[in-house]
Amino acid sequence: MDNPIVEKSSLVPVSDSTAMMHMISQAATDPNVDVNKMERLWEMKKEFDALEAEKEFNIAMAEAQSEMGTVGADASNPQTQSKYASYAKLDRALRPIYSKKGFSLSFNTGETPTDDSVRVLCYVSHKAGHTRTYHSDIDASGKGAKGGAVMTKTHAAGSAMSYGMRYLLKMIFNVAVGKYDDDGNSAGEEVLYITEEQATYLHAKITDNDLNMDKFKALIKAELGCNSLSEIQIGSFDSVDKRIDSAIRAKNKGV
């Protein structure tokens, strides 16, 4: 005869983990319990706990992001003329918030699709028991924008790992890098600039197509009031990109 306690499993509310655990405990003490049904009960409990843990993860992530503001840039890349928030500054700004919400982060590396890249992994764990893995593949060839070697393989790998950690930290918590405009005309309005990645993209596009960088800098200074690529505001990125495309077409036509 089937055990009546096990037969009642279908009546246990899926949302009641305590009741399910109580039923499993009772079934475990019955020598006549059906082993297959016991195993199924355990699987149901594990699935339920996993769903609850993921739910708590998502709630905590939303709460953490709601408390995170824009992080100001504190470092610069002279080659690409871009400013960015260092990992140390991001960590100082974000760790107290995500730790308070029950998150912990750990980094590692994994297999990459190419020999000239590094896959940086970030395991984001929540105290409820759910862990989500993020990754980013970063170039580690050690070559510059025009293909020439600019650093050793070892240096390139280390640089790629550092960049990947910083990039993932921003991506996981959807953090913007910028500053508050305090020129007296915007009443503390938040001003967001293009990302380091976007500045690097524009710089490479200009240099790879042998455009005159000084002429381009004079152009954005006159039209946008920017002294460098890093000072281009996010809303102007597309228009600047199109201006570069126009300059490339003109150059190719010999204009």
CATH number, domain 86-176: 3.30.160
CATH 3.30.160 range(s) for the chain read: 86-176
Predicted confidence band at 186 (pLDDT cuts at 50, 70, 90)?
very low
pLDDT score of 7 more than 50: no
> Which candidate, 187, 210, 11, 177, places its Cα nearest to that of 86?
177
> Which region among 9-13, 166-170, 188-192 has the lowest average model confidence (pLDDT)?
9-13
Task: Calculate the alpha carbon distances from 206 to 94, 158, 214 in Å.
Answer: 34, 27, 11
Distance of CA 74 to the CA centre of its chain: 19
Q: How far apart are CA 88 and CA 200, in angstroms?
A: 21
88 forms beta bridges with none
pLDDT score of 5 more than 50: no
Q: What single-letter DSSP state applies at residue 195?
A: P
Tokens representing residue 6 in the block: 């096990």
Residue 210 three-state SS: coil
Helix H or strand E encompassing 158: helix 153-172
Predicted confidence band at 1 (pLDDT cuts at 50, 70, 90)?
very low
* Residue linked to tokens 């990754």: 135
pLDDT score of 205 more than 50: yes
In angstroms, how far is the first alpha carbon of the chain from the final one? 91
Percent of the chain with pLDDT over 70: 74
Q: How far apart are CA 87 and CA 166, in angstroms?
A: 5
Spell out the residues 6+ positions from residue 178 whose beta carbon is closer than 8 angstroms to its own.
70, 72, 73, 190, 191, 192, 193, 234
* b/e per residue 8-30 (b: at least 16 CB within 10 A): ebeebeeeeeeebeebbeebeee
* Each residue's pLDDT tens digit, 34-72: 767 767 777 887 888 899 999 999 999 999 999 998 888
Predicted confidence band at 254 (pLDDT cuts at 50, 70, 90)?
confident
76 forms beta bridges with 83
Q: How far apart are CA 233 and CA 210, in angstroms?
A: 24
Global pTM reads: 0.63
* Residue linked to tokens 């000072």: 231
> Which candidate, 11, 70, 41, places its Cα nearest to that of 191?
70
> Which candidate, 171, 199, 233, 185, places its Cα nearest to that of 82?
199
Report the pLDDT value the prediction gives residue 14, as an integer from 0 to 100. Answer: 46
* Each residue's pLDDT tens digit, 62-114: 999 999 988 887 877 766 666 788 899 999 999 999 999 999 999 999 998 88
Report the pLDDT value the prediction gives residue 184, as an integer from 0 to 100. Answer: 35
Q: pLDDT averaged over the chain? A: 79
Tokens representing residue 84 in the block: 């960015």
Report the pLDDT value the prediction gives residue 12, as an integer from 0 to 100. Answer: 43
Distance of CA 43 to the CA centre of its chain: 33
Residue 149 three-state SS: strand
The mean per-residue pLDDT over the stretch 209-215 comes to: 87
